[in-house]
Amino acid sequence: MRKNWYWECDNSAIPLYYLYDDLLKIANSVVEAYGCEALSQYGSLSYIHSTSKADVLTYMLRCPIAAARYDYINKIHRDIGSHFCSGGRLDEHDANLYKEEMFKLNNHTPHSPVPLVTGMRVRFALPVSYVAGGATLSSREFTVKRKGRIVQFIPDGHALLCVEINLRVRNFEVI
Protein backbone atom coordinates (compact mmCIF):
# COMPACT_ATOMS: atom_id res chain seq x y z
CA MET A 1 0.00 0.00 0.00
CA ARG A 2 2.77 2.43 0.85
CA LYS A 3 4.27 2.14 -2.63
CA ASN A 4 0.96 2.70 -4.38
CA TRP A 5 -1.30 5.24 -2.79
CA TYR A 6 -0.91 6.57 0.70
CA TRP A 7 1.15 9.25 2.35
CA GLU A 8 2.62 7.88 5.53
CA CYS A 9 1.79 10.79 7.84
CA ASP A 10 -1.57 11.88 6.48
CA ASN A 11 -3.04 8.54 5.54
CA SER A 12 -1.83 6.12 8.17
CA ALA A 13 -5.51 5.20 8.63
CA ILE A 14 -5.42 3.30 5.32
CA PRO A 15 -3.21 0.42 6.50
CA LEU A 16 -4.79 0.67 9.97
CA TYR A 17 -8.20 0.05 8.39
CA TYR A 18 -7.16 -2.74 6.03
CA LEU A 19 -5.03 -4.48 8.68
CA TYR A 20 -7.39 -3.67 11.57
CA ASP A 21 -8.34 -7.25 12.49
CA ASP A 22 -4.71 -8.42 12.63
CA LEU A 23 -3.58 -5.33 14.52
CA LEU A 24 -6.41 -5.71 17.03
CA LYS A 25 -5.32 -9.30 17.74
CA ILE A 26 -1.77 -8.06 18.34
CA ALA A 27 -3.03 -5.24 20.58
CA ASN A 28 -5.14 -7.68 22.61
CA SER A 29 -2.18 -10.04 23.04
CA VAL A 30 0.00 -7.14 24.27
CA VAL A 31 -2.72 -6.15 26.76
CA GLU A 32 -2.98 -9.75 28.00
CA ALA A 33 0.77 -10.09 28.42
CA TYR A 34 1.78 -6.62 29.66
CA GLY A 35 -1.35 -4.59 30.39
CA CYS A 36 -2.88 -1.55 28.66
CA GLU A 37 -0.01 0.71 29.67
CA ALA A 38 2.35 -1.19 27.37
CA LEU A 39 0.32 -0.37 24.23
CA SER A 40 1.84 3.10 23.93
CA GLN A 41 5.22 1.50 23.24
CA TYR A 42 3.90 -0.12 20.05
CA GLY A 43 2.95 2.72 17.70
CA SER A 44 -0.73 2.73 16.75
CA LEU A 45 -1.76 -0.31 18.81
CA SER A 46 -3.29 1.87 21.53
CA TYR A 47 -5.35 3.65 18.85
CA ILE A 48 -6.50 0.32 17.39
CA HIS A 49 -7.32 -1.04 20.85
CA SER A 50 -9.50 1.96 21.70
CA THR A 51 -11.12 2.61 18.29
CA SER A 52 -13.65 0.60 16.32
CA LYS A 53 -13.00 -0.45 12.73
CA ALA A 54 -15.95 1.72 11.65
CA ASP A 55 -14.32 4.78 13.26
CA VAL A 56 -11.01 4.02 11.52
CA LEU A 57 -12.92 3.79 8.22
CA THR A 58 -14.63 7.13 8.88
CA TYR A 59 -11.26 8.73 9.56
CA MET A 60 -9.72 7.13 6.45
CA LEU A 61 -12.54 8.38 4.22
CA ARG A 62 -11.78 11.99 5.16
CA CYS A 63 -8.96 11.76 2.62
CA PRO A 64 -10.49 12.32 -0.84
CA ILE A 65 -8.08 9.97 -2.63
CA ALA A 66 -8.58 7.18 -0.09
CA ALA A 67 -12.35 7.73 -0.29
CA ALA A 68 -12.30 7.53 -4.10
CA ARG A 69 -10.29 4.31 -4.10
CA TYR A 70 -12.48 2.78 -1.39
CA ASP A 71 -15.63 3.76 -3.28
CA TYR A 72 -14.26 2.45 -6.57
CA ILE A 73 -13.27 -0.92 -5.08
CA ASN A 74 -16.58 -1.29 -3.24
CA LYS A 75 -18.71 0.16 -6.08
CA ILE A 76 -20.09 2.96 -3.87
CA HIS A 77 -21.62 6.12 -5.33
CA ARG A 78 -20.95 8.77 -2.70
CA ASP A 79 -22.78 12.09 -2.38
CA ILE A 80 -19.75 14.36 -2.67
CA GLY A 81 -21.67 17.41 -1.51
CA SER A 82 -22.50 15.97 1.89
CA HIS A 83 -19.32 13.92 2.36
CA PHE A 84 -16.85 16.77 1.83
CA CYS A 85 -18.93 19.39 3.61
CA SER A 86 -17.74 20.88 6.88
CA GLY A 87 -19.43 23.67 8.77
CA GLY A 88 -22.13 23.86 6.12
CA ARG A 89 -19.61 24.57 3.33
CA LEU A 90 -18.37 22.26 0.60
CA ASP A 91 -14.60 21.77 0.62
CA GLU A 92 -14.02 22.36 -3.11
CA HIS A 93 -10.41 21.19 -3.00
CA ASP A 94 -11.26 17.79 -1.47
CA ALA A 95 -14.30 17.37 -3.73
CA ASN A 96 -12.16 18.06 -6.82
CA LEU A 97 -9.43 15.63 -5.67
CA TYR A 98 -12.11 12.96 -5.19
CA LYS A 99 -13.58 13.62 -8.65
CA GLU A 100 -10.15 13.53 -10.32
CA GLU A 101 -9.22 10.25 -8.65
CA MET A 102 -12.57 8.66 -9.56
CA PHE A 103 -12.10 9.80 -13.16
CA LYS A 104 -8.63 8.18 -13.27
CA LEU A 105 -9.94 4.95 -11.75
CA ASN A 106 -12.97 4.73 -14.04
CA ASN A 107 -10.88 5.41 -17.15
CA HIS A 108 -8.01 3.09 -16.34
CA THR A 109 -6.88 0.93 -19.25
CA PRO A 110 -5.75 -2.49 -18.05
CA HIS A 111 -2.41 -3.78 -19.26
CA SER A 112 -1.92 -7.14 -20.87
CA PRO A 113 -1.88 -9.96 -18.30
CA VAL A 114 0.87 -11.75 -20.27
CA PRO A 115 4.24 -10.36 -21.35
CA LEU A 116 4.40 -9.63 -25.05
CA VAL A 117 7.13 -11.58 -26.88
CA THR A 118 8.29 -11.64 -30.50
CA GLY A 119 5.91 -13.58 -32.73
CA MET A 120 2.74 -13.11 -30.65
CA ARG A 121 -0.31 -11.81 -32.46
CA VAL A 122 -2.46 -9.09 -30.89
CA ARG A 123 -5.81 -7.53 -31.76
CA PHE A 124 -6.54 -3.98 -30.60
CA ALA A 125 -10.06 -2.98 -29.58
CA LEU A 126 -9.89 0.06 -31.88
CA PRO A 127 -8.00 0.27 -35.20
CA VAL A 128 -4.51 1.79 -35.12
CA SER A 129 -3.68 4.24 -37.93
CA TYR A 130 -0.18 4.40 -39.45
CA VAL A 131 1.54 5.65 -42.59
CA ALA A 132 2.93 3.15 -45.14
CA GLY A 133 4.15 4.10 -48.60
CA GLY A 134 2.75 7.61 -48.29
CA ALA A 135 -0.77 6.35 -47.52
CA THR A 136 -2.52 6.38 -44.15
CA LEU A 137 -3.70 2.87 -43.30
CA SER A 138 -5.29 1.30 -40.25
CA SER A 139 -5.33 -2.16 -38.77
CA ARG A 140 -6.45 -3.92 -35.60
CA GLU A 141 -4.21 -7.00 -35.83
CA PHE A 142 -0.43 -6.93 -35.46
CA THR A 143 2.51 -9.25 -34.85
CA VAL A 144 4.73 -8.37 -31.89
CA LYS A 145 8.43 -7.66 -32.44
CA ARG A 146 10.44 -7.19 -29.28
CA LYS A 147 13.89 -5.60 -29.05
CA GLY A 148 14.88 -5.83 -25.38
CA ARG A 149 12.41 -3.65 -23.50
CA ILE A 150 11.09 -2.00 -26.68
CA VAL A 151 7.89 -3.53 -28.06
CA GLN A 152 7.05 -2.85 -31.70
CA PHE A 153 4.15 -4.02 -33.82
CA ILE A 154 4.21 -5.26 -37.41
CA PRO A 155 0.91 -4.64 -39.19
CA ASP A 156 -0.51 -7.35 -41.46
CA GLY A 157 0.89 -7.09 -44.99
CA HIS A 158 3.96 -5.00 -44.03
CA ALA A 159 6.74 -7.35 -42.88
CA LEU A 160 9.36 -4.60 -42.61
CA LEU A 161 7.23 -1.81 -41.14
CA CYS A 162 7.21 -1.45 -37.35
CA VAL A 163 4.56 0.70 -35.70
CA GLU A 164 5.00 2.17 -32.22
CA ILE A 165 1.81 1.97 -30.17
CA ASN A 166 1.22 3.40 -26.69
CA LEU A 167 -0.08 0.34 -24.84
CA ARG A 168 -1.18 2.41 -21.84
CA VAL A 169 -4.07 3.93 -23.77
CA ARG A 170 -5.09 0.93 -25.89
CA ASN A 171 -7.06 -2.17 -25.00
CA PHE A 172 -5.93 -5.30 -26.79
CA GLU A 173 -6.07 -9.06 -26.62
CA VAL A 174 -3.55 -11.72 -27.54
CA ILE A 175 -4.84 -13.86 -30.43
Domain ranges of the chain: 13-106, 121-174
CA 135 to CA 44: how far, in whole Å?
64
- Other Cβ atoms less than 10 A from the Cβ of 29: the count is 11
User: Which amino acid is it at 56?
Assistant: V
Q: Which of helix, strand or coil describes residue 147?
A: strand
pLDDT in tens, 67-104: 999 999 899 999 988 898 888 888 888 888 899 889 88
Question: What pTM value is reported for the model?
Answer: 0.56
Q: β-pairing, 85-86 with 89-90?
A: antiparallel
Of 111, 92, 93, 100, residue with least CA distance to 72: 100
- The percentage of residues in the chain with a pLDDT greater than 90, rounded to a whole number, is 27
Low-confidence residues of the chain: pLDDT under 70: 1-11, 108-113, 168-169
